[in-house]
Amino acid sequence: NAGVMQNPRHLVRRRGQEARLRCSPMKGHSHVYWYRQLPEEGLKFMVYLQKENIIDESGMPKERFSAEFPKEGPSILRIQQVVRGDSAAYFCASSPWTAGTGNTIYFGEGSWLTVV
Amino acid sequence: SQQGEEDPQALSIQEGENATMNCSYKTSINNLQWYRQNSGRGLVHLILIRSNEREKHSGRLRVTLDTSKKSSSLLITASRAADTASYFCATDALGNQFYFGTGTSLTVIP
């Protein structure tokens, strides 16, 4: 029973390039969350998606960042024209139902983005 | 601003001792959860406590919740070197997401 799968685990991009981070939720989970963690800090919520829908993107920067969770395939977090400040660990989590219903969200191992 | 804040930020104890971490939050919640994160790894769920519960146990873990004070504590008894990690509380006050604090970094010295 595979857990939440994220890839790549480590990604190096030059300033101005694009970064694409992928997340396959646990089997049977249709809710996906993306969080960002800066060094020595906690996790900051970015976006919450269900299949083909963005439910809450209140934590997403207004520019350069986008997320999708298509009907088929993994959820994608896309960062265009990366800057050094985007260097962070990006975590995906999934759950069978929405937060607030007493269920746990399960995290992947994260994707570490380094912008040089 | 973030919903949960852990205290202390860092804690160092000897193996065998108990470790206590606290979490404070700002608004009413449905549930509070504790997670562990080993360096360079993802978060692992430890325990969930609902707003109508006051205490919960799981192995060497004991979690309390005081909704009147908007705080929770995580107690790890008889700590082991393998417990060395960062510990985060997460609340789901606003429905669509979980809010995490900045974590407590626990070091257990063998």
Interface probe, candidates B2, B5, B65, B97, chain A, greatest A C-beta count within 10 A:
B97
* pLDDT score of A95: 86
Question: CA of A111: how far to CAs of A1, A48, A98, in Å?
Answer: 21, 17, 23
* pLDDT score of A14: 98
CA distance A87 to A42: 15
Confidence band of A85 (pLDDT split at 50, 70, 90):
very high
Region B70-76 average pLDDT: 96
DSSP A100: T
The residue ranking higher by pLDDT, A39 or B24, is B24
Instruction: Decide if pLDDT at A26 tops 60.
Output: yes
B25 at the A interface (CB within 8 A)? no
* pLDDT score of A101: 60
Kindly list the residues from chain A whose CB atom is less than 8 angstroms away from the CB atom of residue B2.
Answer: 42, 44
Confidence band of B73 (pLDDT split at 50, 70, 90):
very high
Long-range Cβ contact pairs of A30-33 (< 8 A, separation 24 or more): A30/A96, A31/A94, A31/A95, A31/A96, A31/A97, A31/A98, A31/A105, A32/A69, A32/A75, A32/A92, A32/A93, A32/A94, A33/A92, A33/A93, A33/A94, A33/A95, A33/A99, A33/A105, A33/B97, A33/B98
* pLDDT score of B95: 61
Confidence band of B3 (pLDDT split at 50, 70, 90):
low
Instruction: Decide if pLDDT at B1 tops 50.
Output: no
Chain A residue with CA closest to B39: the answer is A40
Chain A residues in contact with chain B using a Cβ-Cβ cutoff of 8 Å = 4, 6, 33, 35, 41-45, 48, 55-56, 59, 91, 93, 98-102, 104-110, 112
Note whether A33 contacts B45, CB cutoff 8 Å: no
